Structure 1
Amino acid sequence: MFRKLLKPFARFFELHARTHYRAERHSFALAAGIILAASVGGFIEIAPLFTIDETVEAAPDMRLYTPLEQAGRDIYIREGCYACHSQMIRSLQDEVDRYGPYSLAVESQYDHPMLWGSKRTGPDLARVGEKYSDDWQVRHLVDPRALVPGSVMPQYAFLLDAELETGSLPDRLAALRAVGVPYGDAQIVNAAADARGQALPDTDWADGVAERYGEETNIRHFDGRSGELTEMDALVAYLQILGGLTDLPAEIQAARGD
């Protein structure tokens, strides 16, 4: 019974093996086959890009990462946080119920690289911004198990003592502008000062941050300490803006009545 069912497949694979063997004996035929296969695969990957304007939503209120938040994002990537946390809420009801509105393409249009991911050793962080206080975020990063018993997350207490390097921020923002992130000249030139101003609200630098990135920009001591600017400031500033770059996802969810 099974032999009769498998017989057509056996013939197909035998024919395929003979054809492949013949092609290998003729270099031009083999090269043509490789080009054809690569062309088909390339077309499948490239074709969707022609409809990119239809797939990326319009979000007039979409704002850019501040230099401090961008520095925090770089630290997040440097420490491998993306390996355990995704930043992509799928449109499944249980995910929407747990994490919030499903992720939109427009929310990642300025992310280089994007951090969607599929690995969830820890929870998805796409909507974690302002879900917890700055103090909670700092204490959680310093000693995860003190707040979440059984957590396997590493400790990042050293970030409190690591001074944030800001000298390279203008060049980093300029590099992002080269790949499509619309940073202005003033934002690039003042990147280092704006990073300090966002975490040091009692300084003259803070006014410039609000002027260049909007009055709703989070400006405060993210690590709970005044004085020096730390990598903890940057990472917490980044975590607190996740899901807050645009109100469009919440507006779509409200319109759908979810």
Structure 2
Amino acid sequence: MNFNFKHEWVETNIGLMAVLTMLAISVGGLVEIAPLFFIDKTIEKVDGVRPYTPLEQRGRDIYQREGCYTCHSQMIRPFRDEKLRYGHYSLAAESQYDHPFQWGSKRTGPDLARVGGKYSNEWHVQHLVAPRSMVPESVMPNYPWLLSTPLDISDTADRMKALRKVGVPYSLSQAEYDTNVGKFGETVAKQLHIPDAQKNLVAQANFGNYDGDRSGVSEMDALVAYLQVLGTMVDFSKHTDDAFVDAR
């Protein structure tokens, strides 16, 4: 049988080639996706993981708007070299309230899954305004306007309502609020209550003073608040490193 002839015949028949390509992609997709519907523990039960506060969520919106995800992943893989550089490998539970999640393998800059608390607010502000003043070899662009641009908080509640529709447990009713109190504690539940979104956002920005200026709430406040929470919700001392493999 002349397989070369058959292969050439498929390649020169555009319609057949398209059908076979779609079939191959569909089979590959099903093999990867279908098992997830039958796995009970796709997302681990991990204490401490909560939805983002209104300020943190607005910071995440800015992070996506500025394209930060194109150079920074938030996925530490279970390899020894990754652990030594970044810390514990990423857990699915950490991204359960992310829409969309920021996992990926493309890195121009470092992974940011554990960046929260690693640097001071002042360091982040200076790094975002003039990256090479902090990291001389950085190829990151400057983002000075974040410091001078007031954060638009007028649609904060609407953004939270949209996320609520895809499963993020922001509360609207008293019953939902009470459920969040039982699940996350009263302090967190107050931050997740949509009717108080703007008030809570301003209060967190003033308390955290992320941009060093309490006279207003800037986009820098929001972005730094988001960066400072990454990787801080889970107590990794309670998780073993059994999944780490040697990547050498």
- TM-score where L is the length of structure 1: 0.78
Partner of 1:55, secondary structure, is: coil
- Specify the code of the residue in structure 1 equivalent to 2:6: L
- Give the gaps of 5 or more residues in structure 1: 1-7, 202-219
Q: How far apart, CA to CA, are the structure 2 residues paired with 1:32 and 1:90?
A: 35
Give the alignment partner of residue 159 of structure 2, picking from 144, 149, 172: 172
Are the equivalent residues in 1 in contact too, given 2:42–2:92 (CA < 8 A)? yes
Q: Which residue is 1:231 aligned to?
A: 219
Q: Which residue is 1:12 aligned to?
A: 3
- Specify the code of the residue in structure 1 equivalent to 2:226: Y
Q: Does 1:112 align with 2:99?
A: yes
Query: Following superposition, which runs of at least 4 residues in structure 1 exceed 6 angstroms of deviation?
Result: 19-24, 29-35, 254-258
Partner of 1:124, secondary structure, is: coil
* Alignment CA distance shift 1:33-1:196 (3 Å): same
**Sequence identity (%):** 54
Q: How far apart, CA to CA, are the structure 1 residues paired with 2:139 and 2:24?
A: 44
Displacement of 1:50 after TM fit?
1.3
1:108-156 Cα offsets, whole Å, 9 max, x none, are 1111011112221111100000000111111111111111112111111
* Alignment CA distance shift 1:73-1:17 (3 Å): same
Q: How far apart, CA to CA, are the structure 2 residues paired with 1:18 and 1:257?
A: 47
Indicate the structure whose relative CO is greater, using CA pairs within 8 Å and at least 6 residues apart.
Answer: 2
Q: Does 1:242 align with 2:230?
A: yes
Are the equivalent residues in 2 in contact too, given 1:64–1:245 (CA < 8 A)? no
* Alignment CA distance shift 1:22-1:123 (3 Å): closer
Q: Which residue is 2:206 aligned to?
A: 200
Displacement of 1:34 after TM fit?
8.1
Q: How far apart, CA to CA, are the structure 2 residues paired with 1:101 and 1:58?
A: 16
- TM-score where L is the length of structure 2: 0.81
* Alignment CA distance shift 1:165-1:40 (3 Å): same
Deviating more after overlay: 14-23 vs 122-131? 14-23
Q: Which residue is 1:222 aligned to?
A: 210
Displacement of 1:52 after TM fit?
4.3
Q: Does 1:78 align with 2:65?
A: yes
1:200-244 Cα offsets, whole Å, 9 max, x none, are 12xxxxxxxxxxxxxxxxxx1011111100000000000000001
Partner of 2:5, secondary structure, is: helix
Are the equivalent residues in 2 in contact too, given 1:59–1:246 (CA < 8 A)? yes
Decide which structure has the larger Cα Rg and report it.
1
Q: How far apart, CA to CA, are the structure 2 residues paired with 1:134 and 1:191?
A: 23
Q: Which residue is 2:112 aligned to?
A: 125
Are the equivalent residues in 2 in contact too, given 1:101–1:253 (CA < 8 A)? no
The count of aligned residue pairs is 226
Displacement of 1:37 after TM fit?
5.2
- Give the gaps of 5 or more residues in structure 2: 178-192
